[in-house]
Amino acid sequence: MKRFLFPAASLALLGVALAQPAPAPAASPTLRRLALPPETGTYRPGPGAALANALCLNCHSVEYCQSQPPLPEKYWDATVKKMKEKFGATLPPEAIAPLTQYLVEAYGKKP
Ligand code: HEC
C-alpha cells in the first residue's frame, strides 16, 4: 500500500509546479539565448550590387537569391516585382530594371 503514496505525492507536486505562472517571454533566458546573429551576407559584387544590398536585405538574407538555380531574366523580373507587389518591398519603379539586370548577371548564370 505504501508504494502508492509516492506517485500520489509526485502528482501533487506536479500540480503545484504547473500552477506557477509562466515567466514573461521577454524575461526568459531561453528566448534570449535564441536571438539570431546579425545578418552579414551581402550580394555578389557587380554593377547594381549596391542597389540590391540597400533594397533586398530588409526582410531576408541574400541566401534566398544564392540558393536559386541559374534562372533566366523572366524569373528575376517576376521575382523583383513579386517582392514589391505581393510582399511589400519598398522598391522605387526606376530600380526594378537595374535590379533585374543585376540579378540576371550575378545569379542568373552559373558562376
Ligand atoms: C518586404 C520584405 C521583402 C523584401 C524587401 C524583399 N523580399 Fe524577397 N521575399 C520576401 C518574402 C516574404 C519571401 C517569401 C519567403 C518564404 O516563402 O518563406 C521572399 C522570397 C524571396 C526569394 C525566394 C523565391 C521566392 O519567390 O519566394 C527570392 C529569390 C527573393 N525573395 C529575392 C528578393 C530580392 C532580389 C529582393 C530585392 C529586390 C527582395 N527579395 C526583397 C520578402 C521580401
Give dist(CA 71, CA 103) in Å, integer: 9
Mean pLDDT of the chain: 83
pLDDT at 3: 56
Burial degree of 61 (CB within 10 A; 0-12, 13-18, 19+): middle
Amino acid at 62: V
Pocket test for ligand 1, best of 42, 59, 63 (most atoms within 8 A of CB): 59
Percent of the chain, pLDDT > 70? 69
- Phi and psi, residue 86, nearest 5°: -90, -40
Residues having CB within 6 Å of any atom of ligand 1 = 55-56, 58-60, 64-65, 68, 79-80, 82-83, 87-89, 91, 99, 103
Which cell numbers hold the place of 22?
509562466
Query: pLDDT tens across 58-110, in order?
Result: 999 999 999 999 999 999 999 999 999 999 999 999 999 999 999 999 999 75
Give dist(CA 8, CA 14) in Å, integer: 10
100 contact partners, CB below 8 Å, separation of at least 6: 73, 76, 77, 80
Length of the chain, in residues: 111
